[in-house]
Structure 1
C-alpha cells in the first residue's frame, strides 16, 4: 500500500491488487489518517458502501471527532490503537448515522504504520440477540428446574452432583448443600449391586446410546426406603455436556403391585392347601404339612395345633419347627391351662383371633401370662380358632422366639380361611375314624355324617344308605344296582371304585360328577374302602362316601380365575403406568411452562403445615417481587379462618371460593378466594393441599 499524505485527494489510492483485496473484505472497513487536526476518513470498502446505503460517500474526508461527536469511547479506542500501536477489539451498541438504525457492532482496530488506522465494523446484532435469548432461556430453565415438583439432578459423567432442585431434597432427605460436589454413588442411597449398572448406563449415554428408564429402591438419609423411576439424558449447560436425571417416586405403585402379588400368593396358598386336604387319604400328614407351610409363609418360628381336652385345657395335637438349619426348640408342655395363661384364654373367648405382636402390649394386670410366655421364650404370638359346626375345638397357633414379628393384617383373613379348611379336614378325619369302629355302631354313626354314605356288595347291589343319600338320590335306593342309581348306567362303571376295593382291599378315591334326584349335576369326592368280611375272610361289603365338593371346586376355579384376572389387571396397570409415564415425560416441559405462566396463583403445601411450592402469580397477588420465595411460610393470619378452612377440606375433600383476608408485604389486608383440594396418603391420612389463589375484586 502506498503512503498518501495529500488528504485533499478524492480517494485513497491503492495498488490495484491491494485495492481489489480491500474491496473483497466482506466486513465494512474504514481507513483513517492521523493529521494535526485529528483522524480523517480517507477511504472505505464496498461492504461499507453497501451497509450505509451509499451515504458513507458524504462522510469522506470528515474528521472522526465530527462523525463520532456523541461517541467519545470510539474516538478514544482509535487514539489508543494509534498511541499504543496495538490492535483494539470492542463490542458496543451503536446508532448508525447513515441509516438511523440502532445496532450492536464489533470494532476491530489496527494500526498501519506510519499514520493510518483501519477499522473493521461488524454488525453483531443477531449474535447479541441470540446471546440474550440464550441467557433468557437459561434463566427460564433454571426457574423451571428449581420449581419443578419432580426431582431433577445434574451430574457429570463420573457421578459428581453439579446441581439439584428443591424436590430432590424432599425425595432423598438431603439438603442441597449436602449434595453439591458429592458423588451420588458414594452417598449410600443405592445398593452396592446397582453401582456397576449405573456406571454402565452413564457410559452408554456418553456414547450417544438411548437409555431406557429403570426402577430401583433407594435408601433415604433417615434410613427409610423408597422406590423411584429414573430417566437420564444429556444436557448441554455452558457448552459442557452433563447428565440430567429425572426422578419419579413410584413407592405407592410398587406397594400396590406388592399387595396384588401378596393376594395372588395368598389365594394360591389357600387353593393348594384346600386341594391337598380334600384329596388326601392321610389327613394327619396333610394337616401337619399345611401347618408347617402356614408357619413358613407367615414367618413364624413354631406352628402348632392345640385342641381342647375334656378339662377345657389345650393339648398339642401337632407342633412343627418352621426355621430351616436351626436346631428345633419345641414347647415342652403337656397341656396349656387357663390357670396358667388366663389372659390368653380370655382374649381367645372374646375375639376372632389371639394377637400379641410384642409382650409389652400385655397389660400389667396380666403380668402372670407375660411371665409364662417369657419362660417359653415367646416374643410374638398369633392364633386362630378351629371351629366345627360353630363350636370351638382349639387353635392353630404361631409364635416367634428370636424377634418381634411384624405380622400384617392382610394375611389374617387368609389364615382364618385356612383354619376353617383345616377344621373341616379334622372333622372329616374324625368322622372317617369313627366309621372304622364297630359294625354294630355303623348305622348310628354314619347317619350323623353330612356326606352321602352307602354300602354295596360284591355284585354292586346297594344294601344300605344313610338319610343324606336318600335325600340326594331318592328314598328307594336299597336293593338297586349302584351304577344305575348314582351313574344312571346299565352296566358297571369302567373305573368303579367299589370294584377296585373288592379287588385289592385298599382305599380308593376319585372325583366324579353325579346327577341328583332333582336332576342337578354335582361334583363329589368319592372314597371307597372295605366295610366288612365274610366268614371265609373275603371282602363282603364296601362303604362309599360321597363328599359334595361342588362349592369347593367352584371356589378353586374362582380362585384360579381371580389369579389370572389379577395377573391381567397387573399387566394392564403396568402398561397404563408406562403409558402415563411416557405422557408425563412428553408433557413435562409444557406443564412447567404452563405452571409459571398461569394468571392465577397456584400453590401446594403441607396439610396444616408450611407452603411447599407456588408460582410467580402468588407473588403478584401479595405485591411481592417474583424472585422472593414464600416456601416455608403460612397463608393465614386468622387462626379461626384457618381452622374453618381445614375442617371443610377434611369434610368434603375440596373447597371452592373460600374467601379469606391475607396481609401483603405492606401490611395491608387483601381479600382472596382459595380453591383447593385435599391430597391423602395411601392410608387415607391428610397429607398435602393443592390449589389456586384468586384476588377478590369488588364489582362496581
Structure 2
C-alpha cells in the first residue's frame, strides 16, 4: 500500500506499508517525496488513473504491466486508487505476476491440446458420465462416417454404432473406470453411417474438469489390419495344406542358417521332430565336406536372386549322413529375406535303421512345463514326471488327472502319481458318474479351482464315493479344471498330507497354469493325431489317383510330381521346367493352362501333346488350378492334373470317320428310316426320306415325334408294332400314317432290334410306295 498527497498540483509519495516495500526488495524508502509525474512519466495510464480518482473522488481499479527499474523486474500488478479526504490517494496493489504467467501457460497448453486434438491420427471422443458426447475430433468423423454435428450431444447408449454384443463390452470397459484410471485395450466392430462395419481398437480413460467427471475414448481404425490378418490366416492354411501333402521335406531358414520352419516330413526323413529343429543352425546338420559348397551356393542365390539346386549330405538324428537333393529359392517373408528349400532323399540304397541311443533331454525339469510337452517323445511319461514334480512342489502325497468321456457322463482316472507309501488308486477310480458331484462340476465349469479341507461339508460328499479319502492322513484336496476346446474335460488334482494345507492365491495361480498347460498339451495331442490321420488319408487318395499330377512355381519349375508322373521318366525331373520335360521345349507351351492360371488365378483346361518317350507323343487333357497364393493375392503354386486321352482321341477319330460314312448312307437311302428307343419310348433319329414323304420339314417332324405317344402322325398300330419287335426282335406290317395335309397313307414297315453297347434300339424301314410292299414282306418271310 502507498499513500500519496496532492501538493502543488502533483501527487507526492508520503508513506507506504511493509508489504509494498517487500515487492521492491526494501528499496521503497528511496522514493519517499517523489512525484507521480516523475515516477510514471512513461506510464500515462497510471497518471490518468491518479487524476480520475482525485477529481471524481471515486475508486479506480486497473491492471498494469510495469517494469520496476529499481529491482530490474517486469511485474503484473492489480492496482486500486482510493480517494481519502481531504487530499490523499490511497494506492493498494497486488502482485499477480505468477497468476498471469500461469494463465498464459494454461492458454498455451490449451492451444497445444486443441492442435493435437484436431490433428491427431487417432479418433478422440469425450463424453460425460451419462454417455452424452461432448466433443470429438475430425478423425472420429472419418472413422465413423458421421459429421461432428451428427455426433455431438448424442448418447452412445442410443446411437447405432454398437451391436448388442459389442455394446456390453464397451459398457463393461466404462465400469472398470470406477476402480482404474483407464480401461484395457479392446477391439470391437462398429457400424458406420453407410451401414458398413469396421473394426476399431480403443481405450477409455477418465478425468475430472472442475470436479465434474468425464470420459475420453481414444480409438483407431484397424479394419485393414483385421482383413490382412484374415488373408494371412487363409494363406497360411493353404500353405500348410500344401506342405502336408508334399512328400518331400520343406524347410525355411535365415541367411545365417537358423531354422525357422521344418515340415512334418522331417521326422520320417531325418528322425527329428519339427519343433526340435526350430532355432537351431541348419549349417550344423550339413556334412563338413559339403558345407563350403552349400554356403557358396547360398551366397550366389542371395546375390542374384536365382533359384539354387545342389546335392549334399545331411546329418540324421542317429548320426549318419543322408544324401539329399536340395532346391531352394529366396523369398520375401514379411519384409525379411529367407531361403525356402525342398529336400528329397536321393540315396540309391536303403539306410540301415539304428535304434535311438539317446533321448532328447528336457530343457528344464520344472521351470517350464510347456517345453516338456512340446519336446517329449512320450506324452504319458512327460505327464507322469510333471505330476510327481508338481506334487513334490505342493507337498502332496498323490497327484492325478481325471478325464471325462465324450458324453460328459463319466470320468476316469487317466494318470496318477503317488508317494512310495501311498497305495495307487487309478484302477479303482474308473467310470465314475459325474452326476454324483454336481457342486464340484459346476465350480470347475466356472473355471474355479477347488480347495476342500477335511472340515468342509463337501469333503464328506466326496469321501462317500472315494473310499480312499477315508484314510486319516488325507487332510485336504485341491483340484484345477482342465479345458479342451473351451469345454470342461477333466481336472488336475492333489491330495494334501500331514496337516491341512493352506494354499495362497499365488499357489493356486501357478497350478491353474499347470492345469492349462496340461489341457493345451492334451488338446494338441488330440489335434496332432487327427491331423496325422487326415494327412495319411489324403496321401492315400493322392497315391491312388491314376492321372498325372505335378506342382509348379511361377518359373514353371517342377517342385513336386506324383509317382505316376515320375515313372514316365528315367531321371529325376524335380527342379526342371515343365515345358522342357513334357514337350522338350525351351519356352512355355502355347495355350498353356498353367500360364493362364498364374495370370487369372482361376482353373483352366487344355489338350496338350506331351513327349513321353522318343517318337512317342501322348495327348493329355490338362487341367490347372491355384493351390497357394502370396500375401498380395498372386498365385504362388499351381497344380497340374493330366489325363492321357491318346487312345480316346484315336477312337474318336475313327468313330467320326465311320459316323460320316453311316450318315451319308442313312440320308441317301431310297426308303424312310426311323431309329426308336424302346426304353424311353422315343424316336431318336430319322432320315430325309421319312419327313419329306410326309410333307414335313425336319423341324416340323421333330416337334411331332418329340411327343410320340400323343402324335397325330402315328396311331396305336405303330406302338403295337414296336411292342412285337421288342418281343420277337423283328416284325413287318402295313400301318397307316397321317401326312402334313391330314391325309392318311399306307406305309409298309419292317423293323428289327439291335444293340449299341448296353443300349437297345429298334431300326425301322418305311416303304411309302405300294408297289414295293410285297417285295418287303417276301424279304421278311425269307
TM-score by length of 1: 0.32
- Largest Rg, 1 or 2: 2
